[in-house]
Amino acid sequence: MSRNRKTIFALSSGQGKAGVAVIRISGPLARDVLARTAGGLPRPRTASLRKIRHAVTRELLDNGLVIWFPSPNSFTGEDVVELHIHGGRAVIAVILEMLGSMDGLQIAEAGEFSRRAFDNGKLDLTEAEGLADLINAETEAQRRQALRQAGGALRQLYEDWRLQIIRAMAAIEAELDFSDEEDVPESMFAQSKSQVLRLSEEISAHLNDNRRGEILRDGFHVVISGLPNVGKSSLLNTFAKRDAAIVSDQPGTTRDKIDVYLDLGGYPVIITDTAGIREAASDVEQEGIKRAYREAIDADLVIWLVDCSNPQPRIPEKFSQCRVLRVWNKLDLALSNLADKTDDIAISIKTGEGISGLTDSITGIVSEQFPQSPGALITRARYRQHLQAAVVSLGDFLTGPSGDLEIRAEDLRRAAENIGRITGHIDPENVLDIIFSDFCIGK
């Protein structure tokens, strides 16, 4: 652990008025700060009620709980102090100001506590990112996934793969060293090959996940599409329980997309209203329609909304590759009993009929995507790219001529390196800087 590091501090709880606020201090001076402001060091890792005084003027600033985490048993691995103070703006401000005025202390940058934890081997990159996801989790399923990742589920999986590759590489390199001798066991290479093949299949199966982990992290995208005036914006507002989009009997009113975030059965769902699809009058509307198509094609589910009183139910050719749910609206205006004629869902946004059934159907489609007790899933495009690159290198190893053992060992080294990039074993500083700067202050 480096001794010359600055001591950092930050408000680790949320901004604004609250019952309690937590200020975290990490680094070589944390112990000194605690001794000077809270009248001595309490027992490690035990909450103690203390008077918190100004380090210089000795003025009483607040009464609060202080916790002392001596290195290495702390979040960052350094000496850490937590001050649990009253969460009023003036209380927080005066304590932060005092800390800022002390020599050798500086306010933490975004993600700096996590970065130190990573540098000290407390977390790997997937665990740090899992922690960031846990803080951002909005729904139950997101919370579960983030907690699993923060707890090391991906770290274990990827570390295990990396070690298996390194072991196979060591076997090949050992074979290289003996290659001058008579009875080189050709079987060593064959043995490594069957191990690598199994591993490559395992990584490929992990990759073949329909992006479930990423969808869960980012949200399941549902796009409402249909001809103008069928009630797309009204449907969005019904889901949002507010007027998020402008509803009008004037066709072509919606030109830009509008997103609404929902929690359906614990899954994050983003519903998007788009411009009605028709031969457009103006250039602006044409552009809106082009975007509407693009949105729908990229979506995880398209709701194709149809007006019962003016039925043109044909689903556009462009959606042939999409998952489409056809929904009939304006059931209140239907001349005959539509429900008898179609297996599709029929609703009336005006009367509210069928809306809860539609919500249930969407929830069913979303939850179908996610197994009940999944293993660790890929949650970021970054992981996917490195895993794909690793599979390519393993493929090179498996198909390359066995005569070039040096090159085969190099294939394995590249594969191990790619997996090491996911966990942060191998990465230039600037990549880490970018990743951690996405975290929030005080984390």
- Residues forming contacts to ligand GDP in the complex (CB under 6 A) are 226, 228-234, 247-249, 253-254, 276, 329-330, 332-333, 348-350
- Lateral strand order in the sheet of 220-226: 258-264, 267-273, 220-226, 301-307, 324-329, 345-346
Contacts with Mg ion in 24-63 (CB under 5 A)?
none
> Whose CA is closest to 79, among 12, 32, 35, 30?
30
Minimum distance of Mg ion from residue 255's CB (angstroms): 9
3-state secondary structure of 60: strand
Q: How far apart are CA 313 and CA 183, in angstroms?
A: 74
Residue 393 binds which entry of ligand GDP, Mg ion, none, CB below 5-8 Å type-dependent: none
Residue 354 binds which entry of ligand GDP, Mg ion, none, CB below 5-8 Å type-dependent: none
Closest to ligand GDP by CB, 165 vs 258, is 258
Q: How far apart are CA 172 and CA 318, in angstroms?
A: 51
Pairing of strands 267-273, 258-264: antiparallel
Tokens of 287: 């552009």
Residue 126 binds which entry of ligand GDP, Mg ion, none, CB below 5-8 Å type-dependent: none
Residue 420 binds which entry of ligand GDP, Mg ion, none, CB below 5-8 Å type-dependent: none
Closest to ligand GDP by CB, 221 vs 232, is 232
Closest to Mg ion by CB, 232 vs 421, is 232
Minimum distance of ligand GDP from residue 280's CB (angstroms): 13
Minimum distance of ligand GDP from residue 276's CB (angstroms): 5
Asked if 423 interacts with Mg ion (CB under 5 A), we say: no
Measured from each CB, the residue nearest to Mg ion is 254
Stretch that binds Mg ion, among 41-49, 71-79, 246-254, 405-413 (CB under 5 A): 246-254
Minimum distance of ligand GDP from residue 272's CB (angstroms): 12
Minimum distance of ligand GDP from residue 349's CB (angstroms): 4
Cβ atoms of 366 and 264 closer than 8 Å: yes
Minimum distance of ligand GDP from residue 219's CB (angstroms): 22
3-state secondary structure of 23: strand
Q: How far apart are CA 69 and CA 48, in angstroms?
A: 12
Closest to ligand GDP by CB, 332 vs 438, is 332
Closest to ligand GDP by CB, 310 vs 437, is 310
Closest to ligand GDP by CB, 228 vs 288, is 228
Closest to ligand GDP by CB, 219 vs 226, is 226
Residue 229 binds which entry of Mg ion, ligand GDP, none, CB below 5-8 Å type-dependent: ligand GDP
Query: Which residues are paired to 328 by β-bridges?
Result: 306, 346
Cβ atoms of 158 and 174 closer than 8 Å: no
DSSP code string of 86-126: EE-HHHHHHHHHHHHHSTTEEEPPTTHHHHHHHHTTS--HH
> Whose CA is closest to 331, among 230, 224, 228, 223?
230
Residue 348 binds which entry of ligand GDP, Mg ion, none, CB below 5-8 Å type-dependent: ligand GDP
Minimum distance of ligand GDP from residue 334's CB (angstroms): 10
Closest to Mg ion by CB, 249 vs 317, is 249
> Whose CA is closest to 238, among 351, 118, 143?
351
Q: How far apart are CA 274 and CA 255, in angstroms?
A: 7
Contacts with Mg ion in 271-330 (CB under 5 A)?
none
- Residue ranges of alpha helices (H) inside 219-274 are 232-240
Q: How far apart are CA 387 and CA 407, in angstroms?
A: 20
Closest to Mg ion by CB, 122 vs 232, is 232
Cβ atoms of 348 and 235 closer than 8 Å: no
Stretch that binds Mg ion, among 182-190, 232-240, 385-393, 407-415 (CB under 5 A): 232-240
Residue 63 binds which entry of Mg ion, ligand GDP, none, CB below 5-8 Å type-dependent: none
Minimum distance of ligand GDP from residue 274's CB (angstroms): 9
Given 142, 233, 379, 423, the residue binding Mg ion (CB under 5 A): 233
Closest to Mg ion by CB, 7 vs 254, is 254
Q: How far apart are CA 200 and CA 400, in angstroms?
A: 15
- Kindly report the CA angle at 171 between 165 and 174, in degrees rounded to 5? 140
Query: Which residues are paired to 44 by β-bridges?
Result: 68
Given 37, 76, 254, 274, the residue binding Mg ion (CB under 5 A): 254
Q: Which chain residues interact with Mg ion by CB under 5 A?
A: 232-233, 254
